[in-house]
Structure 1
């Protein structure tokens, strides 16, 4: 019996395994390199061996298809051009597609844009065991879906990852003229019902939180109070300049505009926001402090660290509100409070910075500050009334 040693197409570098295989000499004219090397993104030798074997098998089948193409060309009398570099889809990788996506779409995007797209492609490469875009098969879409669920993701998270992957691959197909189909379009993703609806903060809990904020009277509590009676998104509030806040007017307000360190979510997010109740109290405290940034603890010219603010404020807020309520719940509460006084839906949208559906709402300059202020005064208790009530700690 003759013992035959099977070829091994992976090696270890810095504790991580890599796939490596030379391109056959008869096909090297179709590529711009002599060897294919890609990280298998694993420290497990067993997983590396399995991924390398699968990738090697796919390459063999792909190379066979290229050889058949050359045979057919000769039989039909067609000349295969050797003196020019063909634009073949075999040369395009997921890494190339990601770099193209970042270059064309990432001009004014935040770090989150890059983190999400990088993570989505990393998941895909880990699932497939390679980063060759053209060797992806239809069955890989379902396998990728199952892989994400196996990681413990909810259906909404899986859908977000698929959306990111689809966008990256679609752009590569259009821009590079790749003759492939995006297999991640139309993949069925079952709804697991894991998505949690944020709970609005009840009125009594809202008033208690506002009173505690006034008692503690520090920068994090100013931030909570400012959000509580304006319904601003946390990132909107964190990124404010003191000059955005106008309290020395008949109708105090915030001029919510985009800044280099903090973008706004939508075009309708840029708005004049009335200051009433606890939010007016917080705004006056911020102005009196005299800093250029409203919340220097969480924002600077370099970045707006709303994630850090969210973690700290939610930790403080949790024991003071019903289960399921978070900082963003103030925004849900604002909408309910305005509904309760029968405020028109389009005015609610204008106050909260929500996009109003319909072509007609795009005409004109929108609702004035006076109109919004009149409705906001109806829902926010006066600052002096809050201070007169019993303080809850």
Structure 2
């Protein structure tokens, strides 16, 4: 058996590669540790080598910037005005308010929660600065922090996309001429994406049988999506009038509502009801305890549709009662 070659600045633990590098002595006052160690989340020496190369480049650039920041600028004496003017650009939190005001009026609550969550995370790590005061080294530090927390590269890229959009909108609206520091940030190619497989048909039938036995609104919701392929938020946000059992072919009308938008304009459609989903639809309309206009008032009201809560509840039930790591996304 030939041992794998371990790239420089790496060590292997449980077949997974880790990055490790000493902090230079002259910069240790900026760190709480003398060594930087990161899980590269890959078992491939090739991917590890690429990740190490990228991380080292970013560290070298950042450390050079730290060193230069402590040096006197020899050209300062040639400046006409050495006073540094404070930034007039809005804070990141203010840019968020602008973004939600201009783009969030017809968006679902998940749009608002996601934007607020991403901005809050950046502020927690980097501070609430004027948007023209963030640097590319700040964005790189936030990327590394996110990966260290265990987020996948794909998740961090989605978060960065939201932050970029928020900053770009305010830069454009206020005519601020500066580069968005959250653009063109390098992301290592880590083998950290989970391969989620569809639920096997035998397991799906077992879930459907158990759902009929329990016969409550949570199981009706699960049953409704099990035979239709619709998104959980689409089902949780249904109005009773969206369920048409008296038609020649019983069906659901998937359409936007004030309390629940759709993911895309093309998401509006009719979905025929068959098998388990037809049973679930009949249960919903025959529920005498539900006097609202909503099919699932546990998760929906005039203020919005909390599909995230439904997802958490159903996923917990699936994990506790059925084999396999199956997930229902909201």
State if a TM-score over 0.5 links the two structures. yes
Aligned-partner Cα distance in 1 for 2:101–2:266: 27
- 1:238–1:89 CA distance, 2 compared to 1 (3 A): same
- 1:124–1:236 CA distance, 2 compared to 1 (3 A): same
The answer on whether the counterparts of 1:201 and 1:321 sit within 8 Å (CA) in structure 2 is no
Please report how far the alpha carbon of residue 301 of structure 1 lies from its aligned counterpart in structure 2 after TM superposition. Answer: 1.9
Please report how far the alpha carbon of residue 320 of structure 1 lies from its aligned counterpart in structure 2 after TM superposition. Answer: 4.2
1:254 match: secondary structure: strand
The answer on whether the counterparts of 1:89 and 1:178 sit within 8 Å (CA) in structure 2 is no
Aligned-partner Cα distance in 2 for 1:315–1:181: 44
The answer on whether the counterparts of 1:94 and 1:131 sit within 8 Å (CA) in structure 2 is yes
The answer on whether the counterparts of 1:89 and 1:179 sit within 8 Å (CA) in structure 2 is no
Query: Where does residue 100 of structure 1 map in the other structure?
Result: 98
Query: Where does residue 273 of structure 2 map in the other structure?
Result: 275
2:305 match: secondary structure: coil
1:234-288 deviation line (CA, Å, top 9, x unaligned): 1111111111111122211011111111111111211100000111111112122
Query: Where does residue 79 of structure 2 map in the other structure?
Result: 68
Aligned-partner Cα distance in 2 for 1:261–1:304: 6
Structure 1 or 2, whichever has the larger Rg, is 1
Matches within 5 A, 1:197-208: 197-208=195-206
Please report how far the alpha carbon of residue 210 of structure 1 lies from its aligned counterpart in structure 2 after TM superposition. Answer: 1.4
Aligned-partner Cα distance in 1 for 2:127–2:305: 36
- 1:327–1:148 CA distance, 2 compared to 1 (3 A): closer
Aligned-partner Cα distance in 2 for 1:315–1:135: 43
Matches within 5 A, 1:44-59: none
Please report how far the alpha carbon of residue 130 of structure 1 lies from its aligned counterpart in structure 2 after TM superposition. Answer: 4.9
- 1:135–1:314 CA distance, 2 compared to 1 (3 A): closer
1:158-177 deviation line (CA, Å, top 9, x unaligned): 11221111111111221111
- 1:285–1:92 CA distance, 2 compared to 1 (3 A): closer
Taking only aligned residues, the RMSD between alpha carbons, in angstroms, comes to 3.2
Aligned-partner Cα distance in 2 for 1:278–1:118: 38
Aligned-partner Cα distance in 1 for 2:311–2:98: 32
Query: Where does residue 134 of structure 1 map in the other structure?
Result: 132
- 1:157–1:248 CA distance, 2 compared to 1 (3 A): same
Matches within 5 A, 1:163-242: 163-242=161-240
Matched residue pairs, number?
260
The answer on whether the counterparts of 2:106 and 2:261 sit within 8 Å (CA) in structure 1 is no
Structure with the higher fraction of residues in helix conformation: 1
The answer on whether the counterparts of 1:205 and 1:320 sit within 8 Å (CA) in structure 2 is no
Matches within 5 A, 1:341-352: none
- 1:201–1:90 CA distance, 2 compared to 1 (3 A): same
2:271 match: secondary structure: strand
- 1:91–1:328 CA distance, 2 compared to 1 (3 A): closer
- 1:259–1:91 CA distance, 2 compared to 1 (3 A): closer
The answer on whether the counterparts of 1:226 and 1:283 sit within 8 Å (CA) in structure 2 is yes
Aligned-partner Cα distance in 2 for 1:183–1:94: 12
Consecutive unaligned residues in structure 1, runs of 5 or more: 1-45, 48-53, 72-85, 330-393
Query: Where does residue 262 of structure 1 map in the other structure?
Result: 260
**Residue 245 in structure 1 maps to residue 246 in structure 2:** no
